[in-house]
């Protein structure tokens, strides 16, 4: 782990989130007080039963969901920025440079070659295409995606292959914060081990991670600590 390990990368305080179900005329409270700090080099695994709001919290930390109240301070370009009040333009900038996200599903433009899908986050930051492709090739090899598939669109791949492309695309930009939503879903034992090795290496280099894992072996391998989401109405 590097010497930035004491640096808080995420400081979420007093977060509350609810959804209004207009068709049913009701308000659904997800959680009403989340306090979570994640430092560089930590991997915090969200620990709660289904329906407690783990995915909602990850999406709030990525700026997909606005919280009802509270602050989400992320270290971006060396300063703390409150994602909860950031403009849409700033949120997009933070996603390019600071916050990576691995979801269970690969969502990309159809018919784009796999190596271009993986390289795109670097290209969008102004990195030379050749350099971006070299980095993409390294990750695709590390994740056992055969080279004969690199010029094909990943929509034609198996679920496990698509998930590994998803992981490669999320890791290529070396974001200092990484959000993990079941990154080993649909993977067999060998490919799960490849993904976990890459994530462990990023953690050791100082990446701050927050993750959801239903795979007990995977969560145990990468977690530095667990964060139990409080029941509604309870403090964390």
DSSP state of 207: -
Q: Please, are residues 183 and 102 in contact by the beta-carbon 8 Å criterion?
A: yes
Angle formed by the axes of helices 189-204 and 159-171, to 10°? 10
- Residue 228's beta-bridge partner residues? 47
Tell me what pLDDT residue 232 has: 66
Q: What is the number of other CB atoms lying within 10 angstroms of the CB of residue 2?
A: 11
Kind of pairing between the strands at 208-212 and 43-47: parallel
Q: Which residues contact 146 (CB under 8 A, 6 or more apart)?
A: none
Q: How confident is the prediction along the chain (236 residues), in pLDDT tens digits per residue?
A: 444 557 899 999 999 999 988 777 788 899 989 999 999 999 999 999 888 899 999 999 999 999 999 999 999 999 999 999 999 999 999 999 999 999 888 777 778 999 999 999 999 999 999 999 999 999 999 999 999 999 999 988 999 999 999 999 999 999 999 999 999 988 999 999 999 999 999 999 999 999 999 888 888 889 999 999 987 644 44
Mean pLDDT of the chain: 92
The superfamily in CATH containing domain 41-66+87-228 is P-loop containing nucleotide triphosphate hydrolases (3.40.50.300)
> Domain ranges in the chain?
41-66+87-228
Distance in angstroms (rounded) separating the CA atoms of residues 52 and 116: 37
Tell me what pLDDT residue 5 has: 54
């Amino acid at each position: 782990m590097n010497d930035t390990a004491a640096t808080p990368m995420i400081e979420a305080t007093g977060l509350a989130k609810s959804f209004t179900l207009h068709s049913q005329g009701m308000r659904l409270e997800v959680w009403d007080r989340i306090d979570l700090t994640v430092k560089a080099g930590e991997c915090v695994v969200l620990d709660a039963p289904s329906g407690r709001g783990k995915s909602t919290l990850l999406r709030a930390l990525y700026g997909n969901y606005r919280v009802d109240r509270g602050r989400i301070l992320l270290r971006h370009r060396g300063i703390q920025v409150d994602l909860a009040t950031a403009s849409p333009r700033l949120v997009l900038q933070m996603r390019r440079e600071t916050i990576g996200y691995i979801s269970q599903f690969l969502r990309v433009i159809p018919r784009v070659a796999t190596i271009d899908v993986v390289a795109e986050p670097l290209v969008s930051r102004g990195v030379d295409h050749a350099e971006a492709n070299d980095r993409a090739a390294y990750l695709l090899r590390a994740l056992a995606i055969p080279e004969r598939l690199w010029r094909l669109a990943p929509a034609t791949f198996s679920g496990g292959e698509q998930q590994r492309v998803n992981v490669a695309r999320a890791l290529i930009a070396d974001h200092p914060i990484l959000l993990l939503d079941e990154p080993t879903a649909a993977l067999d034992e060998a490919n799960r081990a490849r993904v976990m090795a890459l994530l462990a290496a990023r953690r050791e280099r100082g990446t701050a991670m927050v993750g959801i894992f239903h795979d007990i072996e995977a969560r145990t391998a990468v977690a530095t600590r667990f964060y139990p989401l409080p029941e509604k109405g309870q403090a964390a």
